[in-house]
Amino acid sequence: MTSVAPGAPPAVSVDYGPAPSARVGLAQLASRMVTLCWVELRKLRHDRTELYTRAIQPALWLIIFGETFNRIHAIRTPNGISYLAYLAPGILAQSALFVSIFYGIQIIWERDAGVLAKLMVTPTPRSALITGKAFAAGVRSIVQAAAVVVLSAILGVALTHNPLKLLATAVVVVLGSAFFSCLSMSIAGLALSRDRLMGIGQAITMPLFFSSNALYPTALMPGWLQAISKVNPLSYEVDALRGLLVGVPTNLALDVAVLVGAAVAGVIVSSALLPRLAK
């Protein structure tokens, strides 16, 4: 352990690094979020393949599953809306879930490629790095969600045209994706390998989806599944989206509060696990 450049006068370092204050911290957090979302958008611009391939699955759900169940009227929907209209917000949330639940793969790839170590040597606190990535996942999800909205419109589902509600939809999608990408990055911090993360991601995606209200109202579920659905953030995301997009009565304040809480908790846990990846 030796000190570097012993001849350098220590006094000149005074103007380096702002004093840590809450205001500087928040400004920095905002700046890192903007930066990492910018990176995500640049990447999407360079390669849109994923955008198209990821649009296939929601299309199948809506066209095959949705249209079929729409005809048999097996599921009683609130306010007598068509099953397809009921399903569309659920599939939108699902496609955002798929984007974010595997987002941790990126951080493992960055770890393996040495990019993560470089990012962590910049003046970026761990929590800012995680928050930035969580919102970058949100940006990617919004693009995916937009594809589902367009597809639903083509299938004749009457979704809202209110720009404020569409904006709120984007906010809800970002919050949900922030939570699920943090869940993914937390698993990445525990699993430490791409293969294991893929396995765990596959294992939890469908249970998350089926134990939510994405496909059917929670009232139709057996009691034990209703209990699980109550602690599944995806249910709250779908609930909020349904209220905003197709106008069924929902508890938007509760939904948003749960999503914000889940996202904050996700950021805290995955920030704490991040150093495991940097070792």
Partner 1 sequence: MLVTLLKPMDGRISVFGADAASRPMRVRRMIGYVPQLLSADGSLTGRENVELFARLFDVPHSRRRALVEEALAAMGLTEPAGRLVKTYSGGMVRRLELAQALVNAPRLLVLDEPTVGLDPIARSDVWDHITRLRERAGMTVLMTTHHMEEADLYCDRVSLMHSGRVQATDSPANLKALLGPDASLDEVFRHFTGGTLDEDTAKGGIRDVRRARRTARRLG
Binding site for partner 1 (CB under 8 A): 1-13, 16-17, 20, 28, 31-32, 34-35, 38-39, 42-43, 46-47, 113-115, 117-125, 278-279
Alpha carbons 44 and 34: distance in angstroms, whole number: 15
SS3 221: coil
Q: Hey, how many other C-beta atoms are within 10 angstroms of the C-beta on 204? A: 15
Nearest distance in Å: CB 66, partner 1: 34
Shorter beta-carbon distance to partner 1: residue 13 or 53: 13
Sign of CA dihedral 138, 91, 210, 54: negative
**What are the structure tokens assigned to 65, written together?**
């599953």
Alpha carbons 121 and 99: distance in angstroms, whole number: 27
Shorter beta-carbon distance to partner 1: residue 14 or 203: 14
Nearest distance in Å: CB 53, partner 1: 16
Nearest distance in Å: CB 181, partner 1: 18
What DSSP letter does each residue of 32-74 carry, written as one string? Answer: HHHHHHHHHHHHHHH--HHHHHHHHHHHHIIIIIIHHHHHHT-
Alpha carbons 65 and 68: distance in angstroms, whole number: 5
Nearest distance in Å: CB 24, partner 1: 10
Shorter beta-carbon distance to partner 1: residue 125 or 247: 125
Alpha carbons 145 and 143: distance in angstroms, whole number: 5
Nearest distance in Å: CB 190, partner 1: 19
Shorter beta-carbon distance to partner 1: residue 28 or 82: 28
Shorter beta-carbon distance to partner 1: residue 38 or 154: 38
Nearest distance in Å: CB 161, partner 1: 35
Nearest distance in Å: CB 58, partner 1: 24
In terms of DSSP H, where are the helices of 155-232? Answer: 163-191, 194-210, 223-230
Shorter beta-carbon distance to partner 1: residue 25 or 247: 25
Please tell me the number of Cα atoms within 13 Å of 179 on its side-chain side. 24
Shorter beta-carbon distance to partner 1: residue 8 or 153: 8
Q: Tell me, rounded to whole angstroms, the distance of Cα 9 from its chain centroid.
A: 47
> 80: which DSSP letter?
G
